Each structure stands twice: as structure tokens, then as C-alpha cells.
Structure 1
Amino acid sequence: MSKRGSVKKVVLAYSGGLDTSIILKWLQTEYGAEVVTFTADLGQGGEIEPAREKAQRMGIKEIFIEDVREEFIRDFVFPMFRANALYEGVYLLGTSIARPLIAKRLIEIAKETGADAVAHGATGKGNDQVRFELTAYALNPDIKVIAPWREWEFKSRTDLIDFAEKHQIQVTKDKRGEAPFSVDANLLHSSSEGKVLEDPWVEPPPYVYQRTISPEEAPDKPTEIEIEFKKGDPIALNGKAMSPATLFTALNDFGRDNGIGRLDLVENRFVGMKSRGVYETPGGTILHVAHRAIESITLDREAAHLKDSFMPRYAELIYYGFWFAPEREMLQAMIDKSQENVEGAVRLKLYKGNVIVTGRKSPKSLYSNELVTFEDDRGAYDQKDAAGFIRLNALRLRTLAARKRLG
């Protein structure tokens, strides 16, 4: 019997990197458990197949390596973008929105393989531990979650490398020193945190940026693109219909080449501390601007304002890890209802870090030339009606002003 309890089988979110390889061995030695690995291709770049070979070398029999890019964009990113979600006004939630998908698959694989636990490599200081675990418990209230960074005795990078060498886990030379910063990436974005980025007064060194060229180095000529929407989701780019992940990949390329989507942010983590991160969301930044543009001519004013009013709460729920909570699902139902007539096309210019809307059209547009024209409107709008409208709206203000005067 393992000294740490009765866990027999655990599904590990496994990247194939040093940290999760150490976690894999640690689960075997400390828990005496059989380990199943799950590696997700979220569009992070680089090869993920080597994770299979590494897991096999460590005696793993059940290895899951899956391309989930289409599901990620279709079922997580696009619903979030229908809401125009921004955490603290600027962050497009690139890391946050990937965690519920990974955790969902961990739970599904646990059920398929008969595992009684899942494990992740998130530290005890960050948001990801919360996101993984809230999702896991929402989908299986009886699952056991193992978070090695909150349990083990390792105090330093040297301790980890010593453990790796003791158990014959390959440590590449560049892993023997401290990495200058940590990186998380997927098809929506890349984020960089820690080390050289910890002082919020110091400008990020150029080598931090991985998804975009600098705006200064971007072409002197703008790039013009057109995005077509249906029910709030992009369905075609420059007249060509594409799958969600294919379209998003193309937007990333346009954004990268024009220096779009960089963000240097000090944010409030859910666990209570402030942290500084550098985010790159090239395609997402373009999509955010385009989506608001198509909404501007297809959404009713009060519907649009109501939707904007609960966006910060919706974004906060995703950042905190409550994707599968009932309140997020309730908000999503309202958001999706608002998108029924959000269709049409948006034309954009991409230029040196800027996304500039140059046109928008829709078969379901609420924009009326007859109403807004400065020329003879032929009875479409009687300007005299505005006088009564203003008098009625001014009634309470005049009453308040009269009281102040008497006072």
C-alpha cells in the first residue's frame, strides 16, 4: 500500500517536458499508482509526438495524444469571443480558456480508463491550479485531484534535477540553468511570466516576444482583410470558408506579420496577488475588433448595452475557472441569444500594431441611411418630435434643479 493513500490509477496532464516528466515519476514512486498520460495539441507549436516516446520510456501503457485545436476554437474560444470578453479591460483570456478543455479531457479519460484520480503540473501560487480543479470537480465531484507542487518537498530547481538524474529522466543542457521566463502557449495566444519580467518597471526584452514581430518592424504598407460572420462566429476569411482552427491560424499569421496583439499587463490573480505577464494574441485581437464592428450594425442598442454590462462578470468567471459553473452557462445563453442576427462582413486594415475597421455590412443591418442622412429625409424622422422627447427626459432634472435653487 502506498504511503500516500489508495490512489490506484491517475491521469496526468503531460507535456513531455522536464516538470511533468518529474511529476510522472513522482506519482509512480510516491503514490505507487499506475499513470495514464494525456497530451493535448492546442496549437502551442512544436512537436508533441515526442511526449509519447518519453512516456513509453517511463513505462506508461495508456498514452493519449490528441489534436483538440478545432474543439478548442469552436467550443471554447468562439463562445467567449461572442461576449467580447476582456479581463480587467484588456486581457483576452488566452491561458484561462484553455484550462477547462484540458481538465474536461482529463475527467473523460479517467472515466474511459477507470482511473480514480487526475493530476496537473500547476503551481500553488497561480490561477491554473484553480481552473483545473474547479473544472474537474464540476464534472466529477468524486474525483481525486493530485497537485504535486503543493505536496512534494522539492525546494529548488536543483532538487528537481537531482530527482530526475536519480531516476534516469533525461535533462537537456538548457534545463540545467534557470529559464529566463516561463511560457504557456496555444492557438489563441502565448503568455510569458516570471524572472526577467518580474519587475513591472523594466521593459520586456525583445526576445520575450514569440508570436509577433514588433510594430516598428512591421511593413510600411497596410494589409487589408475581410472577415465574414454568422451568428457571431467568423466563418470565412477573404471570401474563403474555413474551419474554426484554420481560420484562426490564418488570422494569427496576419496579426504576427503586422505586429498586432502585444500586451504588457499587471493583473490581479484569483489567489490574491498581482503578477506581471506579457501576452501575444495576434488573431484574437483582430477578431475582437471585427466582432464588435459587426455587432455595431446588427445589435439593438439596449441589447448591446446590456450585453456589455455583464461582460466583465463573464470574463471574470472564465479567468477564475468557472467555465462549467451554472452562472457562466446562464450568461452564455443570453450572449448566444444576442448573436442570432450578428452576421455579415467586416473589412479591416492591419498596420503596425493597429487593427482599423474600414467597412461593415450585413443583410440584417439595423443601420438606416434614411434615418441618419443630413439631406431631406422625406418624413422618415420628424425632427420636431425631439422637443417633446427632451422635455420628458428633462423633467426630473428640472425638478432637482428647482429644489437646489430653493435650498
Structure 2
Amino acid sequence: MSKEIKKVVLAYSGGLDTSIILKWLQDTYNCEVVTFTADLGQGEELEPARKKAEMFGVKEIFIEDLREDFVRDYVFPMFRANALYEGVYLLGTAIARPLIAKRQIEIAHAVGADAVCHGATGKGNDQVRFELGYYGLDPEITVIAPWREWDLNSRTKLIDYAEKHQIPVAKDKRGESPFSVDANLLHTSSEGKLLEDPWEESPEYVYNRIVSPEEAPDKATYIEVEFEKGDAVAIDGVKMSPATLLTKLNELGGANGIGRLDLLENRFVGMKSRGIYETPGGTILLTAHRGIESTTLDRGAMHLKDELMPKYAELIYNGFWFSPEREMLQALIDKSQENVCGTVRLKLYKGGVHLVGRKSPESLYSMEHVTFEEDEVYDQRDAEGFIKLNALRLRLLNQRGKSKISPSYE
């Protein structure tokens, strides 16, 4: 330890690992620990985290409901881009990390802390995401990453440490955990242990947010989602706040078996990992958003967005939310959404989200131009010149090929 730490803000869940980290920080750095617990819609009671922190003598305890901030300022901007990492992953874990990092830094400044600490392991993406967030907001902050420092590198050692220091260990935590779970309002991710073999199908009990498509209702559910400037604002005509709307979509998606994903992904740190993701509301929202864009976005703007999306998604996955390039892309994306408004009608049925209707006051769809019946706005003879101009380079290429045929000297 080259620098003396007087006060550190710990991202604290109240679970076994972060409780051990809390005690370890006190013992190793002999410093004051401030705990920060964020409610991002993970569905857990957070008051036990306060009681545990008090048990350790923590004087400054921050427990904050950030669900609206999370959806409004992070999830919705990401969905304006239709962001998918490696074509399928809706980035539920990655998009939560910058908000947690931001609040940690803000709290550190408010309480005069000189360090922040997270509980991410040295093998995963989250250590990168947290720390890029920290340094992007405060380049002088000291970061403590216990999993890269301590020797508590097994479940047995962690439990022994907990028992030695009288840290409560739930009975189901005394054995080897079957898999790890991370959850927020956008998704639930499960990975590790019994899920590590990518050939083995994930057991049904891993899924806790979405019923199996086989068990979903035999009757389709129809809903209408309304958009303003690229953001969903209402379901079936009822205006809702961002977090309330996503919660409702989660309920609808979960009940209809929508949003399961078994993904073997490329981590930023270099290895491949398998994740089981449940993103019911987000899966519906993506289909709905693309549906309203299809009628309101110009072809050039729409195709450019699709070209830029993989880069945007990769930046979020890798932890560069606070980077200038992500902000530049966000400005472009947000500009594209100025006229993305209207309503889409969706059919939810046994794991599928089907777009069945769309309408918008800013629609670029013209029935006069596309009709198969007689019209007065489109002269089909104009297509001939259009085709010949586009074919010119192909014809020239073909002629060049023929001109290079060697003459005969017989």
C-alpha cells in the first residue's frame, strides 16, 4: 500500500462477498468505510444491507432508489441506438455499472473520501467497467479492488474469514454456490459453476424472471406502446414513468416467455464466457422501437444508425460510457430520434414478440407511392434511367474484361 487511505466508498450489496470486503478494508487499510447501496430494481430488500453496515460500525450509509435515473438516463438512451452486443445481448449488466460508478464518485466527493472500492473479480468485465467509470469522472481517485489484492481466492477461505470475524453466512452460502446472479430492472444474468459447460442446457430453475415458452399462455397478448422522441412513454394509452413502464413490460414479457438468451460471449478481458440472460421488457422494447423507427426514420439515417450500433454497443460493454466517442455517438443517435414518435402494436406469444401494427404523425410511409393500384404520384418509366445509371459501372467493368482478351496470332 503506497498511499494512506483515510476514507473509502464501497459499492455494497450487503451480501457475503461485499460484507467480507467491508471488514477486510477496515482491517487492511485501517480506514473509515462509507457504504453505498443502489436500488436498480434488483428486487431485493435493501434495509438488511443497512443493518449489516451498522453492525460493522459504519457511520455513513447511503441507500438510494435509482430506478428512474437508471432507466431514464442509461437504459433509454441505449435503446435509442437499438444496442446489441455481438448481435444479441441487450447489455443489462454493462449499462448499470456507469450509474453506480458515478454515484460512488459523487458520494466520495461529498464525504471527503480519497478512495472507492468495488467487489468485482479479476477475471470479469465489471472491474473494467467500474474503474473506467471512476477514472473518467475523477482521474485522481484511488481505486481498491480486493479480488486483485487479497488471498481469499476460494469459497472456503471466504467463509473461514467470515466466521473468524463473525460475519453472518446464510446456510445456503456454506456450500459451493451453483451459479452467480446479477439483477437489475433491465435484466437478470446467471453465470459460472454449473453453467460453465456450454454444451449442457441450462436447467429450468436458473430462470427466475421468465416462464418457459412452453408454459406461457396459449392465447396471444396484444399491447400498444407509444413513443416520443425515441423513448417509450405509454402502454395501451396509459402514460408511465420510465421505470414504471419497463416494470410493466417486464411483467408482460415474463408472463409470455419472452427474453431468454443463452450466450457464449467474448469478454473484454480476453476470454469467452457463458451467460444466461433474462431481459423480458427490454426484448419487447427493442422490437417496439425498431418498429416505430421503420416508419419515421429516413433510409439513410436508419442505415447509418445500424452501421454505428455495433461500435456503440461495444463501447458500453467494454465500460466506455463516459468516453468522448460514446458521447459523440449518443449526440448523433439522439438527433436521429427527434421525429421518432407514434404507436406500435405488438403480439406477445410463447416467447415471441411480433410487430403487427405501427402508426405515426411523422410517418414517411406513403400508400400513394407503394400501392399496386393506379396512382398519380409515381411514373414507373423513371425507373429505367435510375437502373441504367446504377448499372453503368457494372457495364464498364464487363467491357474492360472483354477488351483484355488476347488476340489470336494464328
TM-score by length of 1: 0.99
Distance in 1, matches of 2:401 and 2:246, equals 57
Letter in 1 for 2:379: D
Give per-residue Cα distances to partners, 1:147-182, cap 9 Å, x unaligned: 000000113111111111111101111110111000
Matched residue, 1:277: 275
Letter in 2 for 1:403: R
Matched residue, 1:125: 123
Distance in 2, matches of 1:254 and 1:267, equals 27
Deviation at 1:22, TM superposition (A): 0.1
Q: 2:243 aligns with which of 239, 245, 252?
A: 245
Deviation at 1:401, TM superposition (A): 1.1
Asked if the contact 2:341–2:361 (Cα under 8 Å) also holds between the matched residues in 1, the reply is yes
3-state SS of paired residue (1:283):
helix
Matched residue, 1:262: 260
Distance in 2, matches of 1:292 and 1:356, equals 12
3-state SS of paired residue (1:371):
helix
Distance in 1, matches of 2:16 and 2:185, equals 22
3-state SS of paired residue (2:357):
strand
Distance in 1, matches of 2:2 and 2:254, equals 47
Asked if the contact 1:19–1:121 (Cα under 8 Å) also holds between the matched residues in 2, the reply is yes
Distance in 2, matches of 1:220 and 1:156, equals 46
Q: 2:369 aligns with which of 354, 368, 371?
A: 371
3-state SS of paired residue (1:184):
strand
Matched residue, 2:401: 404
Q: 1:42 aligns with which of 40, 43, 48?
A: 40
Q: 1:156 aligns with which of 146, 154, 157?
A: 154
Letter in 2 for 1:95: T
Distance in 2, matches of 1:226 and 1:401, equals 52
Matched residue, 2:318: 320
Distance in 2, matches of 1:48 and 1:202, equals 34
Give per-residue Cα distances to partners, 1:55-99, cap 9 Å, x unaligned: 001100000000000000000000000000000000000000000
Alignment of 1:319-398 (within 5 A): 319-378=317-376, 380-398=377-395
Distance in 2, matches of 1:286 and 1:401, equals 48
Distance in 1, matches of 2:366 and 2:320, equals 40
The percentage of aligned residue pairs carrying the same residue is: 75
Alignment of 1:83-102 (within 5 A): 83-102=81-100
Q: 1:8 aligns with which of 6, 9, 16?
A: 6
Letter in 2 for 1:136: Y
Deviation at 1:299, TM superposition (A): 0.2
3-state SS of paired residue (1:122):
coil
Runs of 4+ aligned residues of structure 1 deviating over 3 Å after TM superposition are none
Distance in 1, matches of 2:158 and 2:270, equals 27
Using the TM superposition, name which of 165-174 and 141-150 deviates more: 165-174
Letter in 1 for 2:18: T
Asked if the contact 1:349–1:355 (Cα under 8 Å) also holds between the matched residues in 2, the reply is yes
3-state SS of paired residue (2:393):
helix
3-state SS of paired residue (2:37):
strand
Say if 2:66 is the partner of 1:59. Answer: no
Give per-residue Cα distances to partners, 1:281-306, cap 9 Å, x unaligned: 00000000000000000000001001
Letter in 2 for 1:41: D
Letter in 1 for 2:380: Q
Gap runs ≥5 in structure 1: none
Matched residue, 1:31: 29
Matched residue, 2:407: none
Deviation at 1:4, TM superposition (A): 6.2
Say if 2:186 is the partner of 1:209. Answer: no
Give per-residue Cα distances to partners, 1:120-170, cap 9 Å, x unaligned: 000000000000000000000000000000000113111111111111101
TM-score by length of 2: 0.98
Distance in 1, matches of 2:386 and 2:42, equals 55
Distance in 2, matches of 1:401 and 1:25, equals 75
Distance in 1, matches of 2:190 and 2:278, equals 9
- When the two chains are superposed, the root-mean-square deviation of aligned CA atoms in Å is 0.7
Matched residue, 1:165: 163
Distance in 1, matches of 2:21 and 2:225, equals 43
Asked if the contact 1:15–1:39 (Cα under 8 Å) also holds between the matched residues in 2, the reply is yes
Distance in 2, matches of 1:208 and 1:238, equals 32
Asked if the contact 1:5–1:31 (Cα under 8 Å) also holds between the matched residues in 2, the reply is no
